[in-house]
Structure 1
């Protein structure tokens, strides 16, 4: 019996995932080395099913085409239109540039890897790929944070409600966002954490599976510094914006009984605040789509590092990764649906290039109809006040 045990221990069950005879299956060292060791770039062939590869390849191609076209359109329209070249929209252009670089650097490599059923970039390529994905992903969230902070400053701190920002403030916020993102992304290249292949070994990201103190510290600080702190700033900023606009409207309602110069001035301030609030609502939609896209990936990484890495299967890793990378295409769609001036300018450019001779939307009339809604609200307040006085 002892001879059999010695032979079995010597063989070490090299072709199976069971522990050697007599070794506890729950031994930490064995579980770490066999069950939850992250894949390395030496493992060439992917185990992704063919059907899933085909579906994912088609999806990536569509998202790549939409992301390139959409973000280029945003950059082009905001850059060529003088009325849209405002300090606030500089942040919008930066966000579009970050999304464009994310799509351009991530999707072709992953698409080709899926087509060849193996990672094509090697170990150094894995580091570069993961670094760029981390840089542009964190940069997008930081720029969204800068947009929220800029809207709060514009609406809550200006005394006249004009909401005009300054290029100096926007330039400062932009530099801080990119430098902050670079610092978090470069840490794994300097030995604090690591970049590895994940899931079906067709995509590289930071290592959230290996159970080491260094990895836990990096992932924990990454969650706090690159996700929770920006989200807290965003929630606080937009909460202040909503409360400021609500308070302004309440002040207008209280003062509507007296027709004085102060009432007219208060109404103008409120009108400007509401106009800027429309811009802030676009930022709220952008951050909502960002959280919906990146939230599942953040949850998977948290589970893999702090709950149980054995719960993180390849398919569970794959779906959140694809959702996170597709966040780059939502911003142009939100602008096309919600941004009035962007839609008006894009329609005008399209009619000018493709349908010459056809009438375009008159910007003056559009602005007049937009502001007319607020004057109607002001008149309604006065009418209601008159009816109440008559009733008394």
Structure 2
């Protein structure tokens, strides 16, 4: 591809990039691919091949981490009988969604990055690639909302909360996937669109087109696939943090009245289960905001703001960061689960994880505390 020809893009021995005078990023793009390539990218010079190669390597690393991380979550939850509960179906679904996303996106981009400087699979494959990413991304976000609701239901509502049975969990998962598929498939039926992203190596939402059809779809996706789920998750975890802080304060007040240091039998073991729950809750929301917000706001800036600030890297980097969520979710939603860690240390001892099951003193009532720890 990169021969030393004054009519083609090439690198010299010092990795300097050369391209024909006046060439832009759309230089030498096939005609049949221009259907999904915005003219917006024509104002930028060709990307340096090393940038493409770096993203190819990063996608490969994400895919490997995703494969083992989510694979372990699915394996452990399905193999361990005590973990096969209705509410844990949501964690497995999150791992499944993330695994599908990177399985479909990691290898094609990695291979493409070292073969061609632009999307090499054709316009229709670009739309399918973007649609799969939209489906899995939406399903993951909505699953995290349901996980937040489940934890809110148990920790805040307690016995007055709605009990989630296997049937209810299954219906909720069907609704999540049904909504994600229908909404993400709309560009194939005339509402919205998909396009090649800034580096021309991946595909996503068409947020650069100026017609109202595309803009209205982006507005819908921003509100109902990002803002509304974020607001729900923020509400659930805010209530969880408030509940555990109030519970912790009540225990300390009662201990003070009884003139003891703590009412907990395991007070010397470090921070309480309530504090751990609060930390996990805050981490969940902060990760959501940190990972998904850059991609969402770059999209909306391009739709309703100044498109000149949306350079190839400004487009490509947030898209990559959003996909990194598929590797972080297993850590946040599974590793924080005590019983999962116990099963992992037992089923996969080669990882070196040592999780000891703590036994409560005879006669002590730990049922309520155990239920809280299990949800942490």
The alignment's TM-score, normalised by the length of structure 1, stands at 0.72
Q: Which residue of 1 aligns with 2:301?
A: 303
Structure 1 position 172, deviation (Å): 2.8
Q: Which residue of 2 aligns with 1:368?
A: 360
Change in Cα spacing, 1:283 to 1:95, as seen in structure 2 (3 Å) is: farther
Equivalent residue of 2:87, what SS? helix
1:143 aligns to 2:153 (yes or no): no
CA distance in 2, matches of 1:277, 1:253: 13
CA distance in 1, matches of 2:255, 2:366: 13
Equivalent residue of 1:205, what SS? strand
Equivalent residue of 1:116, what SS? coil
Q: Which residue of 2 aligns with 1:200?
A: 199
Contact 2:244 2:274 survives alignment (8 Å): no
Contact 1:216 1:305 survives alignment (8 Å): yes
Q: How does 1:1-392 map to 2 (within 5 A)?
A: 37-38=39-40, 47-117=46-116, 118-159=118-159, 165-252=164-251, 278=276, 282=280, 284-334=282-332, 338-351=336-349, 363=357, 366-368=358-360
CA distance in 2, matches of 1:125, 1:313: 24
Change in Cα spacing, 1:192 to 1:100, as seen in structure 2 (3 Å) is: same
Comparing 71-80 with 46-55, greater Cα deviation is found at: 46-55
Comparing 279-288 with 76-85, greater Cα deviation is found at: 279-288
Equivalent residue of 1:310, what SS? helix
Contact 2:345 2:351 survives alignment (8 Å): no
Structure 1 position 200, deviation (Å): 2.4
Contact 1:39 1:196 survives alignment (8 Å): no
Contact 1:184 1:226 survives alignment (8 Å): no
Change in Cα spacing, 1:277 to 1:184, as seen in structure 2 (3 Å) is: farther
Structure 1 position 250, deviation (Å): 4.3
Structure 1 position 253, deviation (Å): 5.0
CA distance in 1, matches of 2:364, 2:307: 58
Which of 1 and 2 has greater Rg?
Answer: 1
Q: Which whole-Å deviations, capped at 9, do the CAs of 1:310-349 have from their partners, x for residues lacking one?
A: 2211111111111111211112233575332222211111
CA distance in 2, matches of 1:196, 1:325: 17
Structure 1 position 258, deviation (Å): 8.4
CA distance in 2, matches of 1:79, 1:290: 26
Equivalent residue of 2:195, what SS? strand
Q: Which residue of 2 aligns with 1:23?
A: none
Which has a greater percent of helix? 1
Change in Cα spacing, 1:344 to 1:164, as seen in structure 2 (3 Å) is: farther
Contact 2:301 2:307 survives alignment (8 Å): yes
Contact 1:155 1:276 survives alignment (8 Å): no
CA distance in 2, matches of 1:115, 1:77: 35
CA distance in 2, matches of 1:105, 1:341: 30
CA distance in 2, matches of 1:216, 1:336: 37
Equivalent residue of 1:196, what SS? strand
Structure 1 position 256, deviation (Å): 5.7
Contact 2:342 2:355 survives alignment (8 Å): yes
CA distance in 2, matches of 1:335, 1:224: 24
CA distance in 2, matches of 1:354, 1:107: 24
Change in Cα spacing, 1:309 to 1:362, as seen in structure 2 (3 Å) is: closer
CA RMSD of aligned residues (A): 3.5
CA distance in 2, matches of 1:330, 1:221: 26
Equivalent residue of 2:137, what SS? helix
Q: Which whole-Å deviations, capped at 9, do the CAs of 1:270-303 have from their partners, x for residues lacking one?
A: xxxx858856754553443233222111111011
Equivalent residue of 2:47, what SS? coil
CA distance in 2, matches of 1:187, 1:57: 29
CA distance in 1, matches of 2:351, 2:325: 30
Structure 1 position 173, deviation (Å): 2.3
Structure 1 position 91, deviation (Å): 0.4
Equivalent residue of 2:159, what SS? coil
Structure 1 position 98, deviation (Å): 0.3
Q: Which whole-Å deviations, capped at 9, do the CAs of 1:55-103 have from their partners, x for residues lacking one?
A: 2222221111111111000100111111212222110000000000011
Give the unaligned 5+ runs of structure 1: 1-14, 18-35, 41-45, 268-273, 378-392
